[in-house]
Amino acid sequence: MNNDQAPAVLPPLDGPRHGMGAVLGRLVVGLLLLVGAGLTAVIVPLFVMASDNCFEGDARPICSTGGQQTVAFLPVAAAVTAAVLTVIGIGSRRTAGVVCLLAAPCVLALAWLVSLGIAGA
């Protein structure tokens, strides 16, 4: 085959193509996740104030020391974890990057659910 002849069928691509749209999408999703992580770290620990109406012998989870510490520290740890996962997800074009971007909101949602479960029970 010489250079004047084009192949009848194009060869398959070796892998997924990552264009500007994919990069922009990862950046937008990443920035939204980082904002969510920041809000989680700032707002959710305030749920510990649900223990203000606790009295002696109250059996609610938020009235225990462990419950209060969980509500105060779990969201901060989850926010840091989600931020690290997000940065890894933004920087990686491999499957691990997508998995990290999908795991970050799950970590944040879990922190919200656990904290609301303890504070609201």
* Residue pLDDT, tens place only, 76-111: 999 999 999 999 999 887 888 899 999 999 999 999
pLDDT of residue 5: 67
* Residue pLDDT, tens place only, 39-82: 999 999 888 888 888 888 888 898 898 999 999 999 999 999 99
Whether residue 11 is contained in a domain is answered as no
Q: List CB contacts of 116: < 8 A, sequence separation 6 or more.
A: 47
Whether residue 98 is contained in a domain is answered as yes
pLDDT of residue 50: 83
Whether residue 18 is contained in a domain is answered as no
Phi, psi of 78 (to 5 degrees): -65, -40
Whether residue 19 is contained in a domain is answered as no
Whether residue 5 is contained in a domain is answered as no
pLDDT of residue 57: 85
Kindly report the pTM of this predicted structure.
0.77
Q: In 33-72, which positions are buried (b, 16+ CB within 10 angstroms) versus exposed (e)?
A: bbebbeebbeebbebbebbeeeeeeeeebbbeeebbebbe
Indicate the number of domains in the chain: 1
pLDDT of residue 53: 86
Domain extent for 99: 24-49+59-120
